[in-house]
Amino acid sequence: MVITTAMSARSMSTRLELLVVFVFIVAPALAATKPSYIVYLGGRHSHGDDGGVISLEEAHRTAAESHYDLLGSVLGDREKARDAIFYSYTKNINGFAARLEAEEAAAVAERPGVVSVFPDRGRRMHTTRSWQFLGLERPDGSVPPWSPWEAARYGQHIIIGNLDSGVWPESLSFNDRELGPIPNYWKGACRNEHDKTFKCNSKLIGARYFNNGYAKVIGVPLNDTHKTPRDGNGHGTLHVGHRRRFWLCAAPRRSASSAASARGGSPRARVAAYRVCYPPFNGSDACYDSDILAAFEAAIADGVHVISASVGADPNDYLEDAIAIGALHAVKAGITVVCSASNFGPDPGTVTNVAPWILTVAASTMDRAFPAHLVFNRNRVEGQSLSPTWLRGKTFYTMISAANAAVPGYPPADALLCELGALDGKKVMGKIVVCMRGGNPRVEKGEEVSRAGGAAMILVNDEASGNDVIADAHVLPAVHINHADGHALLAYINSTKGAKAFITRAKTVVGVKPAPVMAAFSSQGPNTVNPEILKPDVTAPGVSVIAAWSGAAGPTGLPYDQRRVAFNAQSGTSMSCPQVSGVAGLIKTLHPDWSPAAIKSAIMTTATELGNDMRPIMNSSMSPATPFSCGAGHVFPHRAMDPGLVYDLTVDDHLSFLCTIGYNATALALFNGAPFRCPDDPLDPLDFNYPSITAFDLAPAGPPATARRRVRNVGPPATYTAAVVREPEGVQVTVTPTTLTFESTGEVRTFWVKFAVRDPAPAANYAFGAIVWSDGNHQVRSPIVVKTQES
């Protein structure tokens, strides 16, 4: 098996490299004759609504024919409609994707029965000690009897679908020993018609690929490497669940670290890969909405229980957002959808995947680090690194700032970023080069130093990155240090002739405090689509997470990196997202009748706002993080299995919320696939039964605003008492009633939270607090976000 894997990796890597060369030689500039649009017509009736008169195949064919009729009525020719349509969504979702002129798309949008028409947008991928940190296993790797893994049978028989760049099936993470036969409720497939080496098994039970939207955009014939679920860049393989433990030297041939391990959140869960992302070409994005929507439709029909999607774009109107549409159909089918928050932090308002039916995950550190030290001018500065090589001996090396090593004519400020082609080999040969973070990938800076003949690299943070340092698998000896230390280093270099330094070999350290700390790259709230809904929802480990890796890509994921590893450490909200997906899978195993909203509530209300030093979670500048960074807090799996109370929501609750924010009942009935009427008494957004509470635009004068919430008891009979553990500054918070008594499991009780503005100034730009319900055994915590009106 190892020999087969290695051969597959080499051959697939060669094919990918040849494709890149071919594309750049023969392809024209990225420009399609017509753009692509998605025409969303709502939902399909559940199969069997016709009383079984026609087969599923006939129902799909009839739906597709109706799409040709609709578009043909606009184009004036049904055959032109057939040629234009490249996806017909005919299962749970009703709609199609087609190549259209803008005026043609506008005409389609005017037709009866059309919910929305929107461009086929491109999206980006949001690019393990973590389970010990989350309390699922002991430091020695053993699993205690009270672990949620034991209680939830390691996620046995749950199916997690992953929408990403595919999967590397030969990875040991997909070893299927002891799993038994594939569940009979699985309806999916393993598409390998163009890649016969790709095999599914009882762990990786299904794999599909969707590339029509991508193909229409790049405008050149696709190679066989595009016609396979096989992961070409490692991103997707990292995110598909693992079954068993793998001990590795973290990682062999890429660091000098001690033993580490990789295991997924639901180790016995079955996984299915849906490839929707491909190599960006000539300015294109990697993933397209039409492919993503097709993957959602397939995953729903295939029978998954959880969908994990680590892709995103700028937030958009919900019914013009393929992920929001696909997720709403999935939630209607009882599937929990978990998405990454994106990596555009620390700027406010950058969080994506903000629909209230999605569980949105931020990224933070864990208590494991990979420190390497920089020694200079009698100072010893700690940084982070996963470099596989290190400086030998004890000889100090001459340092040079990359700004002083530019090739003739290259701006020094750009050279400081160590862009490819920026450095003069005569100036950097044999020296340690100091590069500034920003502008281009961190690992690419090291590649430029290596090409120019440098001995090592010191990567220093710019002011915006502050203390956020990342352990990367650099191609040469390297260390990443924070802004303050970098500022002192550059001052020393600029004031000292022949400045020298040394970089020590990296090692692994566990038990680091404080942890978690929010990653600077993790996108933040407020929610720019609906400020009434707090996003992100929770945070989870997303920095230097070890997981399986594709054999077709090096650990940096860059085309010139020829190294190959079985496991890799990566950072991003795309690392934290699958961890929460795994926890959702455990909850679904333990509570198979729970709705997606109940599972989300369990994860949110049991999350912790404290680090391992028992102080509030910090952001990368080491000030307390707000819910705009970490949502309800850091996921706490042990508590999430038994949350005590849950805030539940039905599909009708979501539709009523959409009515409140301006969507019309006709469009929502089309989504529902059945008649729907907006409530005569419109729902106040403040009363939407979300596990967090956001009071937006509070009036300084007038009566207090009041939020209504309903909680369902999922534990034994108990009496819960409310506590306002922290009031937002300038706002008085009152909970009524102060106690809730539940005489049996399943009972629902209602309470109200009143907000009275005492001083509008502190909350004019948001203020934060929290309430907690407790019966002595459970702590049901809801973060509070308030914003007062400008006076």
Least confident residue range of 144-148, 526-530, 579-583, 620-624: 144-148
* Short-list 211, 224, 161, CA closest to 188: 161
Nearest to 363 by CA among 672, 152, 577: 577
pLDDT digits (tens, 9 = 90+) for 653-663: 999 999 998 88
pLDDT at 3 over 60: no
- Which amino acid, residue 461? N
Q: What is the percent of the chain where pLDDT is above 70?
A: 82
φ, ψ for residue 380, nearest 5 deg? -125, 110
Distance (Å, whole) CA 641 – CA 155? 12
d(CA 72, CA 80): 7
Measured distance CA(266)–CA(581) in Å, rounded: 8
pLDDT at 168: 81
Beta-bridged to residue 159, according to DSSP, are 270
What does the pLDDT read at residue 574?
86
Q: What is the mean pLDDT of the chain?
A: 84
Active-site positions read 164, 235, 574
pLDDT range class, residue 309, cuts 50, 70, 90 = very high
E-strand ranges in 100-168 read 116-119, 122-125, 159-164
pLDDT category at 562 given cuts 50, 70, 90 is low
Tell the residue number behind the tokens 């016709």, with chain if given.
Answer: 50
Q: Which fold has domain 371-506?
A: Glucose Oxidase; domain 1 (3.50.30)
Which of the four pLDDT bands, split at 50, 70 and 90, describes residue 29?
A: very low
Distance CA(331)–CA(596), nearest Å, equals 6
pLDDT band at residue 135 using 50, 70 and 90 as cut-offs: very low
Residue pair 717/778 in contact (Cβ under 8 Å)? The answer is no
Which band of pLDDT confidence, cut at 50, 70 and 90, is reported for residue 564? low
Domain ranges of the chain: 36-119, 123-367+514-640, 371-506, 689-788
Taking residues 483-501, what's their average pLDDT? 95
């490839």: which residue's tokens?
A: 275
380 has a pLDDT exceeding 60: yes
* More confident call, 311 vs 31: 311
| Mean pLDDT computed over 568-590 | 87
C-alpha count within 13 angstroms, C-beta hemisphere, residue 179: 28
Would you say 227 and 209 are in contact if contact means Cβ atoms under 8 Å apart?
yes
Least confident residue range of 11-15, 319-323, 630-634: 11-15
Given a contact cutoff of 8 angstroms between Cβ atoms, the answer to whether 770 and 782 are in contact is: yes
Q: CATH for 36-119, among 3.40.50.300, 1.10.10.10, 3.30.70.80, 3.40.50.1820?
A: 3.30.70.80
Q: Cα dist. 106→39, 83, 116, 216, 696 in Å?
A: 10, 19, 10, 20, 34
The pLDDT tens digits of the residues spanning 680-712 come to 888 899 999 999 999 998 988 878 999 999 999
Q: What is the pLDDT of residue 688?
A: 96
pLDDT of residue 9: 34
pLDDT given for residue 776 in this prediction = 95
Q: Which residue has the higher pLDDT, 300 or 194?
A: 300
Structure tokens at 695: 């009071």
Residue 577 has pLDDT above 50, yes or no: yes
Is residue 1 scored above 60 in pLDDT?
no
Which residues lie closer than 8 Å to 342 by C-beta, 6 or more apart? 124, 126, 312, 350, 351, 352, 353, 523, 573
Q: How many angstroms separate the CA atoms of 491 and 557, rounded?
A: 33
Q: Give the mean model confidence (pLDDT) for residues 456-472.
A: 90
For 123-367+514-640, CATH number?
3.40.50.200
Name the pLDDT band for 55 (thresholds 50, 70, 90).
Answer: confident
Specify the pLDDT at position 127. Answer: 53
User: If 0-12 CB within 10 Å is exposed, 13-18 middle and 19+ buried, where does residue 382 land?
Assistant: middle
User: What length is written for the chain?
Assistant: 791
CATH topology of domain 689-788: Immunoglobulin-like (2.60.40)
pLDDT digits (tens, 9 = 90+) for 153-183: 444 678 999 998 888 888 777 776 767 889 9
Q: Cα–Cα distance between 739 and 726 in angstroms, integer?
A: 18
Number of helices followed by number of strands (H, E) in the chain: 20, 36
Query: Is pLDDT of 33 > 60?
Result: yes
Calpha distance 689→327 (Å, rounded): 18
Residue 574 is encoded by which pair of tokens?
């795309």
Q: What angle do CA 13, 17, 19 make, to 5 degrees?
A: 115
C-alpha to C-alpha distance for 39 and 114, rounded to whole angstroms = 7
Kindly provide the residue ranges of all beta strands, DSSP E only, lying in 257-358, ordered along the sequence. Answer: 259-262, 270-275, 287-288, 306-309, 311-312, 336-340
Give per-residue pLDDT as tens, 749-790. 999 999 999 999 998 989 999 999 999 999 999 999 999 987
Which pLDDT score is estimated for 381?
Answer: 96
H/E/C letters for each residue in 376-403? ECCEEEEEECCCCCCCCCCCCEEEEEHH
For the record, the structure tokens of 238 come out as 């990292």
Structure tokens belonging to residue 171: 């990875």
Tokens of 74: 């606009």
- For residue 670 the two structure tokens come to 């089309």
Report DSSP state, residue 174: G
CB-based contact 114:41 (threshold 8 Å): yes
Give me the pLDDT at residue 620, please: 84
Give me the mean pLDDT over the 184-188 stretch.
Answer: 94
pLDDT > 60? residue 147 = no
What confidence score (pLDDT) does residue 45 get? 60
User: What is the distance between the alpha carbons of residues 578 and 263, in angstroms, rounded to a whole number?
Assistant: 12
How much of the chain exceeds pLDDT 90, in percent? Answer: 59
- For 62-108, the pLDDT digits (tens) are 999 999 999 999 999 999 999 999 999 999 999 999 999 999 999 99
pLDDT greater than 90 at residue 7:
no
The answer on pLDDT for 250 being more than 80 is no
Q: Which band of pLDDT confidence, cut at 50, 70 and 90, is reported for residue 387? A: confident
CB 186 within 8 A of CB 270: yes
Query: Residue 403: is its pLDDT beyond 80?
Result: yes
Mean pLDDT across the stretch 211-229? 91
pLDDT of 23 over the 80 cut: no
Please tell me the chain's helix, strand, coil percentages from 3-state DSSP, rounded to the nearest 5: 25, 25, 50
- What is the sign, positive or negative, of the torsion defined by CA atoms of 439, 440, 443, 444? negative
Span 324-352, average pLDDT: 94
